[in-house]
Amino acid sequence: DDQPPKPRPLHMTCSLFMRSIAPTISKAEIVALCRRYPGFMRVCLSEPQPERRRCWVTFDRRQHQRDLLELTEHPSPGVNRDLARRVRNINGITQHKQVLRNDIKLSAKLIHALDDRERLWGRGDTHTAELPAQNPILKNITDYLIEEVSAEEEELLGNAGGVDSEDGNKEGNPTEITVERDEKLVKVLDRLLFYLRIVHSIDYYNMCEYTSEDEMPNRCGIIHVRGPIPPNRITHREVSDWEKTFEDKLGPLFSVKETLSEEEALKMGRKDPEQEVEKFVSANTQELGKDKWLCPLSGKKFKGPEFVRKHILNKHGDKIEEVKKEVEFFNNFLMDAKRPSIPEIKPLP
């Protein structure tokens, strides 16, 4: 028959939550354990903080939750509840056109920074040749940032510098304004905000990022939106205070992965690959007696240290590579300014 197949409720999952998984357990082990249960989808592990990780195991909703409770022999999983109130509102001052315009500016900046960091668009990279070099939703965005005013008309009618001008935020200016919404700006802004929310997992109006959302039970869970228009008139001061606070709180989302400066890296003891290879060679050049040198890697004997050296470099290239990788491994950790560590003991006041 030509009936289309029954649509699948792929947006509905059910999941288990485990409060404490030791860092020594690998994701693969948890996957192997859970894969035996029908409807298994994915595992998400948080970063250790400091010695335990939280873990979410996601299953297809069509698999009944009760079957999953068999898993209880393992670190006390609980059934993870569905998200309540997925759409939440914030202050309706965000509907005001000046705030809308400021939010277009900020969210466009944020998209620029994140697209750049993740190399999401072309930029000459052949692997992503199917994508244009620039994000199309940012095209002509600056047009909307320019304020359109009827300054000439007002001048002619003798109203210049009237209370309508948006820069009326002078010290002590108590002017109250009505929240004015501009549908054109709303449309442009919302496209940017949906992009941030869906692609980068950034909930703009909540000023936060949902890390590893793609691995979590809800791949696009909560969103914050504009609340109803405030019942009372607002002041210019309120508008500018709102914008300032918002911009400050948004700041951390811009941060690219921070690395140490050259000077700090040296202070902290960044290793030099060549030096470490030298150390490895000399540690494996053992003098047994006069004109008798041993390479413990192979057990071969040589007449002088220079022969052992040559031998190690020629015959044990894989070990040398391993040393270099270990150096890179260590340096990558060292260079990460936000590297995990045991929590600092707070100094006494």
Using CB under 8 A, list all residues that contact another protein.
4-5, 7-11, 23-24, 26-28, 45, 47-48, 53, 64, 86-87, 89, 95, 118-120, 137, 186-187, 189-191, 193-195, 198-201, 205, 214, 218-221, 223, 225-228, 267-269, 325, 328-330, 332-334, 336, 339-342
Closest by CA to 284, choosing from 275, 297, 302, 274, is 297
- Kindly state the smallest distance separating residue 320's Cβ from another protein, in Å: 15
In DSSP terms, which residues pair with 78 in a beta bridge?
17
* Distances in whole angstroms, Cα of residue 328 to Cα of each of 58, 129, 336: 35, 31, 12
Please state the closest distance from residue 10 (CB atom) to another protein, in A: 4
Q: Find the shortest distance in angstroms from Cβ 63 to another protein.
A: 11
Q: Nearer to another protein by C-beta: 89 or 142? A: 89
**What is the nearest approach in angstroms of another protein to the Cβ of residue 47?**
7
Burial class (CB in 10 A: 0-12, 13-18, 19+), 57: buried
Q: Would you say 92 or 305 has its CB closer to another protein?
A: 92
Closest to another protein by CB, 112 vs 301, is: 112
3-state secondary structure the chain: CCCCCCCCCCCCEEEEEEEEECCCCCHHHHHHHHCCCCCEEEEEECCCCCCCEEEEEEEECCCCHHHHHHHHHCCCCEEECCCCCCEEEECHHHHCHHHHHHHHHHHHHHHHHHHHHCCCCCCCCHHHCCCCCCCHHHCCHHHHCCCCCCHHHHHHCCCCCCCCCCCCCCCCCCCEECCCCCHHHHHHHHHHHHHHHHCCCEEHHHCEECCCHHHCCCCCCCEEEECCCCCCCEEHHHHHHHHHHHHHHHHHHHCCCCECCHHHHHHCCCCCHHHHHHHHHHHCCEEEECCEEEECCCCEEECCHHHHHHHHHHHCHHHHHHHHHHHHHHHHHHHECCCCCCCCCCCCC
- Measured from the CB atom, the residue of 234 and 308 that comes closer to another protein is 234
Q: Closer CB to another protein, residue 224 or residue 236?
A: 224
Nearer to another protein, 310 or 339 (CB): 339
CB of 64 to another protein, least distance (A): 7
Return the number of the residue (174 or 269) whose C-beta is nearest another protein.
269
Measured from the CB atom, is 80 or 218 closer to another protein?
218
Q: Please, what is the minimum distance in Å from the beta carbon of residue 308 to another protein?
A: 28
Provide the minimum distance between the beta carbon of 252 and another protein in the complex, in angstroms, as a whole number: 19
Residue 210 Cβ vs another protein, minimum distance, rounded to whole Å: 12
Which one, 280 or 293, has the nearer CB to another protein? Answer: 280
Q: How far is the CB of 310 from another protein (least distance, A)?
A: 27
Nearest-CA neighbor of 61 among 113, 107, 9? 9
Report the 10 Å Cβ neighbour count for 186: 16
| Longest CA–CA separation in the chain, Å | 106
